[in-house]
Amino acid sequence: MPDPTKPRSSLSILASLIAGLALGALLLGLTGFLILSRSSGPALLSHVWSKLTGRTLSIDVSQPTVVDRIQRLQRLETVVYTMDKVVSGAKENPIFPDFLAGDRLLMLVHGEVVAGIDFSSLKPGDVQVEGKQVHIHLPVAQVFSTRLDSARTRVYSRQTGLLVPTDPDLETQVRQEAERQLSAAALAEGILRTAQQNATTTITSLLQGLGFEKIGLD
């Protein structure tokens, strides 16, 4: 009569053998993973862990987000021109010569002209987003301010006629003319073109930081 315990013993041995092989493979894999993580550093460990957990990175680059990020820049000053000029001003009398009724001064002025782009006027229609592509119609560059440095601006010379008092308004008028000339000189040297180029570079960096791969600006 066959012994009923023999098949049962064979099955037990086979099951134990399979379990041992599986456990050995698991330990071998874990050991290799630890060795790789130690030799390659935390970057490899993080990469493998990310693959195991199945997580993927997602960035919100919707149209409202892009518009909001750019509008936060407000008045983006992208270029400052610093200049020194000599500006003259005079009050003359049509009848008497200057040494009797004239008033003339020379002013050495030091000032700066600031230009950039005002992004507060950016509208949602100026931004087109499609996947990782974005196209933006930028506002045009403009001169924000022309300022004279009072500490470095001074009257170089002043000549007043013998028959007239010094005109208290002449210096103010010369300062105003100096600001106008500074602004005109900056425009002639291409301050708006430079401001637009610098703004384009700044916005491109911002959009790349948001995850866009193809960027169009005009």
* Percentage of the chain exceeding pLDDT 90: 15
Q: Are 125 and 192 in contact (CB under 8 A)?
A: no
Q: Are 69 and 45 in contact (CB under 8 A)?
A: no
Strand partners, 104: 90, 159
> In the prediction, which pLDDT does 5 show?
47
Cα–Cα nearest to 205, from 217, 218, 190? 217
Distance, CA of 148 to CA of 108 (rounded, Å): 11
111-144 pLDDT, tens digit per residue, is: 999 999 988 888 878 888 888 888 888 889 999 9
Angle (CA) 102-90-95 rounded to 5° is: 40
**What tokens appear for 107 in the block?**
């002013």
> In the prediction, which pLDDT does 206 show?
84
195 pLDDT band, cuts 50/70/90, is: very high
Residues 90-127 as b/e (b if ≥16 CB within 10 A, e otherwise) read ebeeeeeeeeebbbbbebebbbebbbbbebeebeeebb
90 has a pLDDT exceeding 90? no
Please provide residue 211's backbone torsions phi and psi, each rounded to the nearest 5 degrees: 105, 5
Distance, CA of 207 to CA of 122 (rounded, Å): 15
Which residues, including other chains, have CB under 8 Å from residue 11's CB and lie 6 or more apart?
none
Q: Are 61 and 132 in contact (CB under 8 A)?
A: yes
